[in-house]
Structure 1
């Protein structure tokens, strides 16, 4: 069996394992939260593996090694350091993020500002996720091209089919647990290659003079080790250009929401940053060895040498293990794992924006969970296909990642973070900040791509140093001016928009208490037997699945609920109806559509000390729902 057939067999086994994980979690899903947030039951270890795997692309690994070869430790600010620092900063923000009652960032921003901002942020996030996925498709295409001469379209097809199968079956649970497997493959591969590269230099393989490991590392110059060799101004520009976009990415926020408690989310992010550090350290060792094995590449300098430096690891594997096709195939699987672990995360985030924040919110508010999953599956394929097309326009791996990051930083850093911490932020300010930042940044990126010759320094950098990194500092600056300026000139947000983010506002708003319930009432006892209760960290998850005896008009049902009691509100549209009874909105009862046309789901996520009260609140909501439907001659049954 030749090397390519060995790879195909191993890949089939690997994908089958991922699909099996997706199938397993598909059987355990009973709610929207189960699909999009893994039931909020993810522990710190799995979360750490997933956070690390989601930010380590195959293309990213190849590019980081190339950067190390050409620029040494000074290059860490372009990718490595922001990866590590962003996860640590998110760990600090966990306390604010974790208890927000949302599944996606566009939904969160609608709660904060109103419906005017949900669709633009959903579209922007989808664009950003596609651009991030470009790096995965490009990296995996490069792997198959160098190893086996496979056309890039086949690489995209492999990623699209595999990811769409296990993600759309198992949701975020499948993403997280396949990420655990994928990070194991990636880290083992990277560390093994570090040993192989150093061993090759020590043995004098690939026509290099044999030197000991101590000589290899001892010969590295001080400038190579100096992380500030690019200069403090450049360091600051990279930090302010990249980190804001990465700490506001939707995918790590979804994983924070998916954690079983704040402590697990915080530990997971810290754990993820440590694991990323280990992999990047192995990349540095590989680069030091490669500078001895391929001295001509190191002498080409940056950026001219990146065309040869990025695929240097692939060339090494092909040359070093030419007589060991199994090792080459396993290397390809390791890099395929890196591609899929990121592509599944980006596809999940982007598809959730399309299916939940655009399709269900604006096109079909009464969409069932089954319909949403169909749209979600199609959306995953669209995102990967769009990323494939983008890979032919943006062939540079790190540039694709940077462009996505800069658009994110300029578009929604200020509206998102400002909304969390600044009460005076308004929907007009948020909309202005997003639109101005997005339009300016996309314009600057397009201008840079059109005007920059191949493998040359970016055009905007030659105009003025402040315009480096595709002018993102300008884009962010104009976004900030629009956000803060327009917010101060417009009417403050309403209390119902401020309630999920500032508890004192929620307490002022929520005066409606559950009616008194007799715990000995047999009706209440029968009700409790049908409530699915699970404990995850400091909260309990209460879920009640109901089926109507007749056809449902969701719009009419929601409007009648809202007119029956002022406690019922729809801060994010008709798809989710909250019974706002106290300041902790995550604990409030929420009514959503179920899987089928006649299914209705009620859920609440109270803190453990308030579970008893919230069970009564859930019963009150159930009784009010039953009364409203009873007026139309429709009964409710448990299932």
Structure 2
């Protein structure tokens, strides 16, 4: 009876999310900027909560509580907490700049700043990133939806259902629908899961009683530093840079209606994240005592919600938990589709397509990406592990020329191309070598520590060895309203110096 009640709430919740998609579809979208960037009209609070819902996903909710339970320690904080800290870095470096840009994708921006071959070499890594990530999201959604519906459908069938629902409201409403569904899901998750944690602590008789009982079973449960400092340092070095090139997240900032909204929204996302992160850690720690022999730790949080929350609240919260997976899925789906449309369809297939054809191509790209990623996840699950190196390669190759596009006018097109091609290429080769050797760190080195230094050396070395391309930089700065880059470039042109003086940001 309880499961039927919860299943009914889940179904109603899904219908409500589809309703948001229908609403924005009826409002209409005149161009790709409307579809992929919500018309660049998102206020700061929408940027913040949409960013939050996308960033937490399955890993920041169900996965983090499961990791705490399995590891008998809250040290899982570091993997997610450092990611949250990196959002403040994104806010400072890109929060004021991205809302001004006129491109939809990062590869397109790279072409404006450098050239077409730089865009071309970066594109495959973004597509691989989204295909592999989406495959994992569909399987995670299937696990949760199957549990919520009382196992009346298999995980595979639930994965298909989740993919269809997410794709439906994404196709209908584009980024506006995605951001508003994320907004609703973010509020429900934050409030509902804090209630779950508070009621769980009350079951123990208070904070002191809970911590005492948990540490009796797991002495290091609340020791944040029960982990080698080298691992923590590794998280910092790998996770912080990766956030600066994750297009699915950065398109939230691009969608902001002003630089102020972009900066405030991205900063607030980090604040909300840090206020949220104790929840899955506490739930995971409490689960050590409450469910000492649970069959699947991924279901710890849903199981606790069913056991201690009022039925109506459990239903809403469990629907939102499924939506946490969806909120990441819809973002990567839309972002990946934008690469297919702007970087492939309009670049190589039909450059002169009118707005109607562009809209149709956008929806076809969303559907096609869903089908491709779902097929890979269900038919050949191992392929997800094989192509996930796309995410690592972005940091190893794209990061340096991407940031330099905003801050260092001395960088040249050849330098950008070779730093991506060889930096990302070596990262991929190192990753593959580790995969075949069954280790994440081939020869004791993470792929980032091999590819990124090479990318840095190539970019700055080649740039300083070539003539500056200041006219190209000025054109990009004018097109994207990057005032501080324009000032830096004008100063460099006046001095004709191989290095730039620091000019305060005015973007």
Band of TM-score, shorter chain: 0.7 to 0.9
Q: What is the CA deviation profile of residues 306-361 of structure 1, one whole-angstrom value per residue up to 9, with x for unaligned ones? A: x943333244456x379x87666544412221122111111111101101111011
Please give the per-residue CA displacement for 1:415-462, whole angstroms capped at 9, x wherever unaligned.
21122222222222222222223333333334444443xxxxxx244x
Q: Is the helix fraction higher in 1 or 2?
A: 2
Q: 1:311–1:485: structure 2 CA closer, same or farther, 3 Å change rule? A: farther
8 Å contact kept, 2:284–2:300: no
Aligned to 1:259: 256
Q: Relative to 1, partners in 2 of residues 1:31 and 1:308: Cα closer, same or farther, differing over 3 Å?
A: closer
Contact persistence 1:39–1:258 (CA under 8 A): yes
Task: Say whether the 8 Å CA contact 1:35–1:173 is kept in structure 2.
Answer: yes
Q: State the Cα deviation string for residues 547-590 of structure 1 (Å, max 9, x = none).
A: xxxxxxxxxxxxxxxxxxxxxxxxxxxxxxxxxxxxxxxxxxxx
Structure 1 vs Structure 2 CA RMSD: 3.3
Matches within 5 A, 1:39-78: 39-69=39-69, 70=71, 72-78=73-79
Tell me by how many angstroms 1:155 deviates.
2.7
Offset of 1:180 from its aligned partner?
Answer: 0.8
The answer to whether residue 160 in structure 2 is matched with residue 151 in structure 1 is no
- Measured after TM superposition, the shift of residue 484 of structure 1 is 3.0
Tell me the equivalent position of 2:445.
466
Deviations 1:80-107 (A, max 9, x none): 2133112211111223333333222111
CA distance in 2, matches of 1:42, 1:345: 15
The yes-or-no answer on 1:215 pairing with 2:209 is yes
Q: TM-score, normalised by structure 1?
A: 0.67
Q: Does 1:190 align with 2:169?
A: no
In the alignment, is the contact (CA less than 8 A) between 1:57 and 1:135 conserved in 2? Answer: no
- Structure 2 residue matching 1:499: 3-state secondary structure: helix
- Within the alignment, does 1:310 sit opposite 2:301 as a pair? no
Quickly say closer, same or farther: Cα 1:12–1:63, change in 2 above 3 A: closer
1:2 to partner: Cα distance: 7.7
Identify if the C-alpha distance between structure 1 residues 310 and 2 changes in structure 2 by more than 3 Å, giving closer, same or farther: closer
Using CA pairs below 8 Å that are at least 6 residues apart, which structure has the higher relative contact order? 2
Q: Which runs of 5+ in 1 are unaligned?
A: 203-210, 298-306, 453-458, 509-606, 608-639
Q: Return the alpha-carbon distance in structure 1 between the equivalents of residues 376 and 451 of structure 2.
A: 22
d(CA) in 1 for partners of 2:466 and 2:140?
A: 46
Which of these residues, 275, 283, 295, is aligned with residue 272 of structure 2?
275
Does the residue aligned with 2:348 lie in a helix, a strand or coil? helix
Cα gap change, 1:419 to 1:135, in 2 (>3 Å): same
Q: Deviations over 1:267-314 (max 9, x none)?
A: 1112211222232111122122112123468xxxxxxxxx94333324
Give the distance between the partners of 1:402 and 1:199, measured in 2 at CA.
Answer: 41
Alignment of 1:162-177 (within 5 A): 162-177=165-180
> 1:55 deviation in Å?
0.6
- Residue 366 of structure 1 deviates from its aligned partner by 0.6
Deviates more, 1:129-138 or 1:499-508: 499-508
Aligned to 1:493: 469
Matching residue of 1:512:
none
Q: 1:4 to 1:357 in 2, by over 3 A?
A: farther
Q: CA offset at residue 173 of structure 1?
A: 1.4
Q: How many residues align?
A: 476
Q: Is the 8 A contact 2:135 2:373 kept in 1?
A: yes
Q: In structure 1, what is the Cα distance between the partners aligned to 2:457 and 2:4? A: 55
Q: In 2 relative to 1, CA 293–465 (structure 1 residues): closer, same or farther, beyond 3 Å?
A: farther
Q: Distance in 1 between matches of 2:292 and 2:474?
A: 59
Matches within 5 A, 1:541-580: none
SS in 2 for 1:413: helix
Higher strand proportion, which one? 1
Whether the 8 Å CA contact 1:100–1:500 is kept in 2: the answer is no
Distance 1:160 1:145, change over 3 A: closer
Q: 2: distance between equivalents of 1:127 and 1:136?
A: 14
Cα distance in 1, alignment partners of residues 311 and 390 from structure 2: 36
The equivalent residue for 1:230 is 227
Which of 342, 358, 374 is the equivalent residue of 2:344?
358
CA distance in 2, matches of 1:155, 1:472: 35
Report deviation, 1:365: 0.5
Q: Which residue of 2 aligns with 1:286?
A: 283
Residue of structure 1 equivalent to 2:142: 141
Q: Secondary structure at the match of 1:102?
A: coil
Separation (CA, whole Å) in 2 of partners of 1:135 and 1:3? 26
Residues 50-97 of structure 1: CA deviation (Å, up to 9, x unaligned): 11011111344122112223163432222x213311221111122333
Q: Is this contact kept in 2: 1:197–1:290, CA < 8 A? A: no
**Matched residues in 1 for 2:145 and 2:43: separation?**
35
Deviations along 1:108-140, one digit per CA (max 9) or x if unpaired, are 111001111223323321221223323422321
Distance verdict in 2 for CA 1:77–1:59, change over 3 Å = closer
- Displacement after TM superposition at 1:264 (Å): 1.5
* 8 Å Cα contact 1:142/1:152 also seen in 2: yes
- Where in structure 2 are the equivalents of 1:85-124 lying within 5 Å? 85-93=85-93, 94-124=95-125
Conservation of the 8 A alpha-carbon contact between 2:138 and 2:162: yes
CA offsets 1:467-504 (integer angstroms, 9 cap, x no match) = 3xxx3222322333333334344443351344323314
State yes or no: 1:477 paired with 2:453. yes
**Partners of 1:279 and 1:66 in 2: CA distance:** 16
Q: Residue in 2 aligned with 1:433? A: 419
Change (3 A) 1:181 1:403: farther
Would the aligned equivalents of 1:119 and 1:358 in 2 still touch at CA under 8 Å? no
Task: Please state how far the C-alpha of 1:395 moved relative to its aligned partner.
Answer: 8.0
Unaligned 5+ runs, structure 2: 478-484, 492-506
Determine the C-alpha separation between the residues in 2 that align with 1:289 and 1:494: 59
- Tell me, in whole angstroms, the C-alpha distance in 2 between the residues paired with 1:113 and 1:482: 15
In structure 2, the partner of 1:130 is: 131
The answer on 1:245 being equivalent to 2:245 is no
Determine helix, strand or coil for the equivalent of 2:225. Answer: coil
Per-residue CA deviations over 1:130-170 (Å, capped at 9, x if unaligned) read 23323422321221344433333323322332222222232
